[in-house]
């Protein structure tokens, strides 16, 4: 393997360090749920992954706002903020369902 091929093996390069670490913890919980056969652990892992994604999108939107203010242009990253809000909402819903399942042993009825 050449040195130029090593950089292709780095996954999730676009994530910042803290969201990458949180995403890794969620991935370990999600994959580990299949080994210990706990459904709630998998739901928790997915919720943590959504939370890490929301954190990364929030950091990117704050960087965009900072550079817009620094260059004195009115350019608000609306789509990044919208995606961060959607990811935060999904994380809250999935983590709320995992909490409900953990307390009651079953998902809530529709």
pLDDT in tens, 50-91: 999 999 999 999 988 888 888 888 778 889 899 999 999 999
Residue 20: count of CB within 10 angstroms of its CB = 15
Can you give the pLDDT at residue 54? 94
Query: 45 with 29: CB under 8 angstroms?
Result: yes
Residue 21: count of CB within 10 angstroms of its CB = 12
Query: 110 with 48: CB under 8 angstroms?
Result: no
Give the pTM.
0.81
Distance CA 10, CA 71 (A): 32
Residue 60: count of CB within 10 angstroms of its CB = 19
Of 19-23, 28-32, 83-87, which gets the smallest average pLDDT? Answer: 19-23
102, pLDDT greater than 90 = no
Going by pLDDT thresholds of 50, 70 and 90, the confidence category of residue 3 is: low
- Read off the tokens for 31: 């994959």
For the chain, give the percent of residues with pLDDT over 90.
41
Residue partners of 17: CB distance under 8 A and separation at least 6: none
pLDDT (average), residues 14-20: 81
């Amino acid at each position: 393997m050449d040195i130029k091929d090593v950089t292709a093996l780095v996954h999730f390069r676009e994530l910042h360090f803290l969201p990458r670490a949180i995403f890794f913890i969620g991935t370990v919980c999600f994959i580990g749920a299949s080994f210990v056969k706990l459904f709630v652990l998998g739901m928790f892992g997915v919720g943590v992954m959504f939370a890490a994604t929301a954190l990364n999108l929030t950091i990117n939107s704050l960087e965009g706002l900072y550079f817009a203010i620094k260059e004195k242009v009115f350019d608000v990253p609306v789509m990044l903020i919208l995606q961060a809000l959607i990811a935060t909402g999904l994380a809250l819903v999935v983590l709320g369902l995992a909490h409900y399942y953990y307390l009651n042993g079953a998902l809530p009825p529709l």
